[in-house]
Amino acid sequence: MHLNSYTECLRMPYKKLCLRSSENFALLVIAIGSAECAHSSSQQQQADPSFQDIPTQSWYPPSVVGSSSRPSTPTSSSASLHQRASDSPQSSSRGQPSPAEAAGIIARLKDKSIEELQRLLKDREAYNAFFNSLDQVKTQNNVRDELKKETLQLARENLEKEQRILELRNQCTIIRTTELAAAQDRLTDLERQKDDIMRSYSPAALLNKLQTSMAKLDEESEELHQKFLEKDIDLPTFVQKYKKLRTAYHKQALLHLAGQTSLR
């Protein structure tokens, strides 16, 4: 089987995986099966007697080992890989291994003997050792360790700020129970004063003030007229004062009338 065929198999979705390490796991198992198929077909398509002694039980799932541990021909093995890929849920584009990653793993496996490939399939410790030696896995482990260190550092910093948070919380409680209460009382008093001032300058209150002032001016002008009739004041003085009072009265009367009209 050609290297491009391996790459094509490796690029197909194998399982619905959440972590990249699980993707590399599936990638490596398929690569080992493909490499074993290629190694078997290169031996003149003759059945290897050692295959009969290989136990069918394995720590791999049946879907992984079923077709790769006892291959018949490269064609049938490749077809089974395609069938497994088509039966599995489609993964995202980010979950598929790149051709470079697939080629790198194939390059690590192509020089191994069939016994070594079978040992990788059957011996979990051997598989884990090979799996952890891959550059992709090393990179992921390094990233995981860095993230772990950063998380621990952030947790320590948060714990160091706990005392300061408690102090600020106590200060907020003191402010809420003392200073805030006094400020709220002061605010309530100012709002009451504001309401009183607003009521005194409302349109209705202003009209009432005009009407009261008009009544007072009218009363003063009548008193002045009565004094003139009783000859308590002379004519020039009466005319001057009476004219002033009646002018102010009529101005206020016009304002009162205009205000009533605008409020209708």
Domain end (from 134, 150, 172): 134
Domain end (from 134, 164, 181): 134
Whether residue 100 sits in one domain with residue 11: yes
What is the pLDDT at residue 126?
86
Question: Does residue 257 or residue 99 have the better pLDDT?
Answer: 257
What is the C-alpha to C-alpha distance for residues 249 and 210, in angstroms, rounded to an integer?
10
pLDDT, mean of residues 58-65: 44
Whether residue 130 sits in one domain with residue 217: no
Whether residue 28 sits in one domain with residue 111: yes
If one counts every other C-beta atom within 10 angstroms of the C-beta of residue 243, the result is 11
What is the C-alpha to C-alpha distance for residues 263 and 202, in angstroms, rounded to an integer?
11
pLDDT band at residue 13, thresholds of 50, 70 and 90?
A: very low
Whether residue 224 sits in one domain with residue 126: no
Question: Does residue 257 or residue 61 have the better pLDDT?
Answer: 257
Domain end (from 105, 134, 163): 134
Q: Which of 112, 136, 175 is nearest to 26 (CA)?
A: 136
Whether residue 17 sits in one domain with residue 124: yes
Whether residue 209 sits in one domain with residue 123: no
Q: Is residue 55, in this structure, part of any structural domain at all? A: yes
Q: Is residue 149, in this structure, part of any structural domain at all? A: no
Q: List all residues 6 or more positions away from 115 whose beta carbon is below 8 Å from its beta carbon.
A: 50
Whether residue 110 sits in one domain with residue 18: yes
Q: Is residue 179, in this structure, part of any structural domain at all? A: no
Question: Does residue 217 or residue 94 have the better pLDDT?
Answer: 217
Does residue 174 carry a pLDDT above 70? Answer: yes
37 within 8 A of 76, measured Cβ to Cβ: no
Whether residue 207 sits in one domain with residue 91: no
Q: List all residues 6 or more positions away from 210 whose beta carbon is below 8 Å from its beta carbon.
A: 252, 255, 256, 259
What is the C-alpha to C-alpha distance for residues 33 and 69, in angstroms, rounded to an integer?
7
Kindly state the percentage of the chain with pLDDT values over 70: 63
What is the C-alpha to C-alpha distance for residues 58 and 228, in angstroms, rounded to an integer?
132
What is the pLDDT at residue 30?
58
CA atoms within 13 A on the CB side of 100: 2
- Can you point out the beta strands (E) in the chain? none
Whether residue 207 sits in one domain with residue 129: no
What is the C-alpha to C-alpha distance for residues 258 and 251, in angstroms, rounded to an integer?
11
pLDDT digits (tens, 9 = 90+) for 187-241: 999 999 999 999 888 888 889 999 999 999 999 999 999 999 988 889 999 999 9
Whether residue 217 sits in one domain with residue 107: no
pLDDT, mean of residues 118-128: 88
| Enclosing domain of residue 23 | 3-134
What is the C-alpha to C-alpha distance for residues 35 and 3, in angstroms, rounded to an integer?
9
Q: Is residue 101, in this structure, part of any structural domain at all? A: yes
Total domains in the chain come to 2
11 within 8 A of 96, measured Cβ to Cβ: yes
What is the pLDDT at residue 34?
55
What is the C-alpha to C-alpha distance for residues 30 and 17, in angstroms, rounded to an integer?
15
Q: Is residue 48, in this structure, part of any structural domain at all? A: yes
Q: Is residue 123, in this structure, part of any structural domain at all? A: yes
Whether residue 25 sits in one domain with residue 126: yes
Is the dihedral angle over the CA atoms 200, 206, 207, 209 positive or is it negative? positive
- Predicted TM-score of the model (pTM): 0.33
| Distances, alpha carbon 260 to alpha carbons 24, 212, 257, in Å | 88, 15, 5
Q: Is residue 150, in this structure, part of any structural domain at all? A: no
Q: Is residue 129, in this structure, part of any structural domain at all? A: yes
Whether residue 119 sits in one domain with residue 7: yes
